[in-house]
């Protein structure tokens, strides 16, 4: 999967570096850049508290409610095409009370080297998903299947999900997505390296600030010294 315009950057190295960070640090990097913070709505939560951090390149999937009978073959074809190191991002749009995603889909994605899923809709089989150590974020959990109720209509195209700040967040194929217990954030492809490097610098600064705080540095002194608390 192509993730950056620079030929000198290894995508696996980029992902490994992001895994040392947090959603909070990544959001702060957007503030430092003067860019809107593309954090996703707080309703998108980890389905398992002990799941790994989610990090990878967006592979977008969208659908709509539909009462046609029989299996959703396009949905299965789309899942089978998920690239290695991708995170499937599902725009459930009008989905309510039904699951778009379960452990069989998760197992298929794991076998393809996918790194997780963000589902703006429902999921089920969360105990089985926990056994896969596969990170999934979703709006809700429901045991009701989507067959005869919802279908996939497109994939690998830009989609829009509700954002933490009240606006829609665009998710395009090749953007980097990150999720931990604080929430999920989408890093547009053009800003991946800038956000990564700024967040890494902040991580180092905050580590030193914590050391100074443990030695008695006050919050105001920390602000004067580091410009951030």
Predicted confidence at residue 211, as pLDDT, reads: 59
Within 10 Å of residue 177's Cβ, how many Cβ atoms? 28
Digit-coded pLDDT (tens) for 120-164: 999 999 999 999 999 999 999 999 999 999 999 999 999 999 999
Whole-prediction pTM: 0.89
In the predicted model, is pLDDT for residue 1 greater than 60? Answer: no
Digit-coded pLDDT (tens) for 186-199: 999 999 999 999 99
């Amino acid at each position: 999967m192509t993730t950056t315009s620079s030929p000198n950057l290894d995508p696996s190295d980029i992902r490994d570096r992001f895994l040392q960070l947090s959603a909070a640090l990544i959001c702060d990097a957007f503030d430092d850049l003067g860019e809107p913070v593309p954090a996703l709505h707080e309703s998108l939560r980890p389905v398992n508290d002990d799941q790994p951090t989610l990090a990878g390149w967006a592979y977008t999937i969208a659908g709509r409610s539909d009462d046609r009978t029989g299996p959703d073959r396009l949905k299965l074809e789309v899942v089978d095409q998920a690239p290695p190191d991708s995170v499937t991002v599902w725009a459930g749009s009008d989905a309510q009370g039904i699951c778009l995603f379960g452990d069989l889909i998760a197992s298929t994605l794991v076998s393809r080297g996918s790194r997780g899923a963000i589902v703006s809709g429902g999921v089920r089989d969360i105990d089985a998903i926990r056994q896969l150590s596969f990170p999934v974020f979703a709006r809700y959990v429901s045991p009701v299947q989507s067959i005869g109720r919802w279908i996939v209509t497109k994939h690998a195209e830009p989609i829009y999900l509700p954002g933490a700040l009240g606006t829609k967040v665009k998710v395009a194929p090749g953007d980097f997505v990150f999720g931990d217990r604080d929430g999920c954030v989408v890093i547009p492809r053009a800003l991946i390296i800038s956000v990564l490097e700024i967040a890494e610098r902040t991580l180092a600064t905050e580590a030193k600030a914590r050391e100074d705080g443990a030695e008695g540095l006050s919050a105001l002194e920390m602000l004067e010294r580091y410009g951030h608390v």
